[in-house]
Amino acid sequence: MKAPDQEKQDDFYRKIRMKVKAWAESGKGKQSRWSEYILLAPDMFYLLCKLVVDPDVPAGEKAKLAFAIAYFISPVDLLPEAILGPVGYLDDIILATYALNSVVSRTPEHVVRRHWAGDGDILEVMQRVLAVADEMIGAGLIRKIKALMAGK
């Protein structure tokens, strides 16, 4: 499994980080009840990129991670960022969480934790995301995301 080019990953990470941070500091971001979750987007992307090249992650899980990375980067997804702005990252975050949940179930937890650059414990962050996922984007989109992940 070949990971996306490192330079492209770094550029995308920086771009998403600047975009999300600026939005969170704006009036819309400050008013959004989902800001704390949207702020996870850059760190989730970074974690996916690190895990997809980690030799301790099984190949089958790397395919799911690569799919989640491609989903983040793709301009075409269930909630497109080009139309919705950073709110469009909610589906990417949820899909990433499902991919990470699968990795955690088949890989020692410390493998995921050692690459997490975000705040708090990644396993607790994942639980929080999954606890509000239906409310964030609706059960219909959750079913579509689960179907996408089942195909990976």
Per-residue pLDDT reduced to its tens digit, 117-131: 999 999 999 999 999
pTM confidence score? 0.90
Number of compact structural domains in the chain = 1
DSSP state of 33: T
pLDDT digits (tens, 9 = 90+) for 30-68: 999 999 999 999 999 999 999 999 999 999 999 999 999
The verdict on residue 1 lying in a domain is no
Report pLDDT for 18: 93
How many CB atoms neighbour CB 48 within 10 A?
28
The verdict on residue 142 lying in a domain is yes
At residue 20's C-alpha, the angle toward residues 111 and 78, to 5°, is 80
Report pLDDT for 1: 45
The verdict on residue 17 lying in a domain is yes
Q: Residue 36: which domain range?
A: 6-150
